[in-house]
A and B are shown apart, each in its own frame.
Chain A
């Protein structure tokens, strides 16, 4: 698979986490920065964003350094280098296509902090915190999206630009709004809003079996 060029909306799609979660115990590779631990098997990359389900270990001993959960990897707060065999046990979440979707949108924002000082003639900026949000519109199919509104933890969302070539934006997010509307002259419709929890990625290859 590879990144697609221009794509028609006809090959768009949206996937969300489905159930049940599936346990795994997989080898990982520590990156050169000493903090990023990537799972070797891409099939289990979509993990539950729940640290109680994950046990990273090095040479058979649990790692106690704190970390962030990202797609297919853990990013530790400080270096965990020095070991030989890194492994991770946890649960991965299969994803499934959401029926009835006809539109989605993604909005990523980077906050900038001003650092202009005396002597500057043009504004000077530096990067602050990033965030993302998304929305979708669909024809109502069933109550499953309403059920998602009750989730405590963020779930995985995949916004496909090209489902034929597995090009998608993927990230953890909370469904923080769901509108449903019914008109005698139309179809029952839903409109959802999502607030991102952590980083969003663009992937251009298939990761599931």
Chain B
């Protein structure tokens, strides 16, 4: 994978990976709860793997007419159901996960444009 320009990024949703419209930014924060196994006589910390999880956000220009994208995220948020997310680094490489949409912020200013931020937390394997 070469260096990726942001202009090639996108976010897919669902089994068929419909593209969510008007996404301006996505983030992913993967945490790995490694477990310490350091014991007496060792001089350097040692660890074994633990549970992993991922959360992040999608920032968008709000588009209520994006039926299969932003509207679907909103529905998943309000119904407490999961979505299949695919976060693209470039046109072909991506990270996929099943996620809850556990936060939705809408902001509207007379001097600006209506914006939305969806927060997600994955459940299960991230690949």
Contact = CB atoms under 8 A, between A and B. Distances in A.
A122 B74 contact: no
Contacts of B22: 6
Given A3-B71, A110-B77, A120-B51, A12 B102 contact: no
B93 interface: no
Interface stretch (B3-11, B12-20, B34-42, B109-117): B109-117
Given A110-B77, A116-B51, A204-B64, A122 B113 contact: no
A130 B110 contact: no
A103 B108 contact: yes
Interface residues of A, number: 41
A169 interface: yes
Given A108-B105, A123-B52, A7 B113 contact: yes
Given A9-B110, A121-B52, A127 B65 contact: no
B102 A9 contact: no
A12 B71 CA distance: 19
Interface in B39-68: 49, 51-53, 61-67
25 contacts: A2-B65, A4-B64, A5-B65, A5-B66, A6-B22, A6-B114, A7-B113, A9-B110, A10-B110, A12-B109, A103-B107, A105-B105, A107-B104, A109-B102, A112-B102, A121-B51, A122-B51, A122-B122, A123-B122, A124-B124, A127-B100, A160-B108, A161-B62, A162-B64, A169-B106
